[in-house]
């Protein structure tokens, strides 16, 4: 059975790569890494030299963690081509550290028959602390049909796909009729359904009471 291959049509933004746990870093691994990279920094392989400058032990080169992330990506993206990669180291690696490498799809786009997938990848130590973080851009075939066309010298399959970055907030759904933020001085749809209150009737002025005419004084009685 042929090995599984990664095709653009099967990838979605937010997909997580299977986490990969590595064995604890030991001094034998550091010696082999120094030989493979032809980098014999005494701080990575000479315990006495490292302690002479105040370090607790030899320190692992940070690029070893980057190599672990590269293994994570190549194991997942079979058939893909790495077009760009970058990384930022945030914590030192020490012998005995156990790294867990993780990643997820953060973007995808296709244009003119070329299809790309972008990944966020990172590694954590046994304490859950972030050690290294990076971004990788892959070029992949859209589908098995697209790869077959390439192998047989035919033009690529053209499917234009806009960028779908996980960092871009999805567009907000249209607001219901009449619902606008209160800061703009308009009422919400909920309020618009209520009948408008009738304006208060102006208070009636009190009627002036008509004064009764004063009674005429009775004439004084004469004494006999």
> In the chain, what are the domain boundaries?
1-25+60-167, 26-59
Tell me how far apart the alpha carbons of residues 224 and 34 are, in angstroms, rounded to a whole number.
Answer: 153
Instruction: Give the single-character DSSP code of 77.
Output: S
Instruction: Give the single-character DSSP code of 38.
Output: T
pLDDT of residue 23: 94
Tokens representing residue 177 in the block: 């009729």
Instruction: Give the single-character DSSP code of 34.
Output: H
Of the ranges 25-34, 190-199, 204-213, which one carries the lowest mean pLDDT score?
A: 190-199
Tell me how far apart the alpha carbons of residues 76 and 72 are, in angstroms, rounded to a whole number.
Answer: 6
Nearest residue to 132 (alpha-carbon basis) of 60, 33, 55, 66: 66
Of the ranges 84-88, 122-126, 171-175, 182-186, which one carries the lowest mean pLDDT score?
A: 182-186
Q: Are 136 and 73 in contact (CB under 8 A)?
A: yes
Task: Specify the pTM.
Answer: 0.69
pLDDT (mean) for 26-30? 93
Give SS3 for 151. Answer: helix
C-alpha distances out from residue 183 to 64, 114, 150, 188, Å: 54, 46, 56, 11
| Backbone torsions φ then ψ of 198, nearest 5 degrees | -70, 140
Nearest residue to 93 (alpha-carbon basis) of 121, 134, 127, 70: 127
pLDDT (mean) for 207-219? 53
Termini Cα distance of the chain: 152
Instruction: Return the CATH number of the domain spanning residue range 1-25+60-167.
Output: 3.10.129.10
């Amino acid at each position: 059975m042929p090995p599984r291959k990664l095709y653009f049509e099967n990838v979605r933004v937010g997909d997580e790569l299977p986490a990969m746990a590595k064995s604890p870093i030991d001094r034998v691994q550091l010696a082999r890494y120094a030989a493979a990279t032809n980098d014999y920094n005494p701080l990575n392989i000479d315990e006495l030299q490292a302690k002479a400058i105040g370090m607790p032990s030899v320190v692992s080169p940070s690029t070893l963690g980057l190599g672990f992330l590269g293994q994570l990506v190549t194991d997942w993206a079979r058939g893909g081509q790495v077009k760009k990669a970058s990384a930022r180291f945030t914590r030192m690696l020490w012998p005995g550290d156990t790294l867990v490498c993780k990643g997820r799809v953060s973007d995808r786009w296709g244009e003119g028959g070329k299809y790309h997938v972008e990944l966020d990848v990172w590694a954590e130590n046994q304490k859950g602390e972030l050690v290294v973080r990076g971004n990788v851009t892959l070029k992949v075939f859209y589908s098995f049909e697209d790869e077959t066309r390439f192998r047989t010298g035919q033009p690529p399959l053209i499917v234009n796909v806009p960028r779908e970055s996980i960092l871009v907030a999805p567009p907000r759904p249209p607001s219901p009729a009449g619902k606008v933020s209160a800061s703009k001085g308009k009422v919400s749809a909920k309020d618009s359904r209520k009948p408008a209150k009738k304006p208060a009737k102006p208070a009636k002025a009190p009627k002036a009471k008509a004064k009764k005419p004063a009674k005429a004084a009775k004439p004084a009685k004469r004494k006999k």
